[in-house]
């Protein structure tokens, strides 16, 4: 990640490593590409969190405690999770607890969702699979996830399902996201109109009470891409 003072420090350190490797072995290491970033700010307005995917197939996060002037040390969100991790989304509640969701593609090509959370002042995420395949089909893929969190311990997620039961789906947890790791069929709700419209890019928000959720997405209707709302 390249921001503010951290950018200067990291470039300085990496320049030294690159020069040393070039001198000793005649090689120059390549940086992994960084893509699909997502940013949130907490209620105080001081703490900024940025998450992104690395070209090595990992999800990383960094935090600023001074409104983005400087950042700390990169933290691996997808620690210990094999496969290609990508398309992360994050949310933060009023207590400063962080929540993340992303795609994970295994060697067989199957794509699943992983959900993780990190309590305030913790140094790592607790993450696990969201077992949607158990209800929508073993070969189905879950992509383009979105999430939000309310002050009432409620976490909502949305995603696009492909390769079986194609459509836009939504799920809700009222226990800080714990039940997403053991998601049941009644919690999985389809939102699109079940036509062959190829929904994409969902965005989800929730009010402070956690009772009302709002979702928008894109889909093709009558030969045109349009925006839909639920």
How far apart are alpha carbons 129 and 137 in whole angstroms?
A: 15
Residue ranges, the chain, pLDDT below 50: 2-24, 26-29
Domains of the chain: 1-31 (no CATH), 34-229 (2.120.10.10)
- pLDDT, one tens digit per residue, over 110-125 is 999 999 999 998 989 9
Mean of the per-residue pLDDT values for the chain?
87
Query: For the whole model, what pTM was predicted?
Result: 0.85
Structure-block tokens of residue 145:
């996830």
Structure-block tokens of residue 49:
């969190």
- pLDDT, one tens digit per residue, over 175-215 is 999 999 999 999 999 999 888 788 999 999 999 888 899 99
């Amino acid at each position: 990640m390249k921001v503010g003072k951290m950018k200067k420090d990291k470039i300085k350190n990496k320049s030294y490593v690159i020069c040393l490797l070039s001198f000793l072995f005649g090689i120059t290491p390549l940086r992994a590409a960084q893509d699909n970033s997502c940013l949130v700010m907490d209620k105080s307005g001081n703490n900024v969190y940025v998450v992104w995917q690395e070209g090595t197939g990992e999800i990383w996060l960094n935090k600023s405690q001074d409104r983005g002037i400087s950042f700390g040390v990169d933290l691996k969100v997808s620690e210990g999770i094999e496969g290609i991790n990508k398309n992360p989304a994050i949310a933060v509640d009023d207590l400063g607890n962080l929540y993340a969701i992303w795609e994970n593609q295994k060697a067989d090509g199957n794509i699943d969702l992983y959900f993780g959370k990190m309590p305030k002042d913790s140094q790592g995420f607790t993450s696990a699979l969201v077992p949607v395949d158990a209800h929508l089909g073993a070969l189905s893929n879950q992509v383009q996830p979105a999430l939000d969190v309310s002050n009432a311990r409620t976490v909502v997620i949305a995603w696009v399902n492909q390769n079986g039961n194609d459509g836009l789906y939504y799920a809700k947890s009222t226990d800080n996201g714990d039940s997403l790791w053991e998601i049941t069929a009644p919690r999985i709700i389809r939102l699109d109109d079940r036509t062959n419209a190829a929904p994409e890019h969902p965005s989800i928000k929730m009010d402070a009470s956690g009772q009302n959720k709002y979702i928008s997405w894109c889909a093709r209707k009558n030969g045109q891409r349009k925006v839909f709302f639920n």
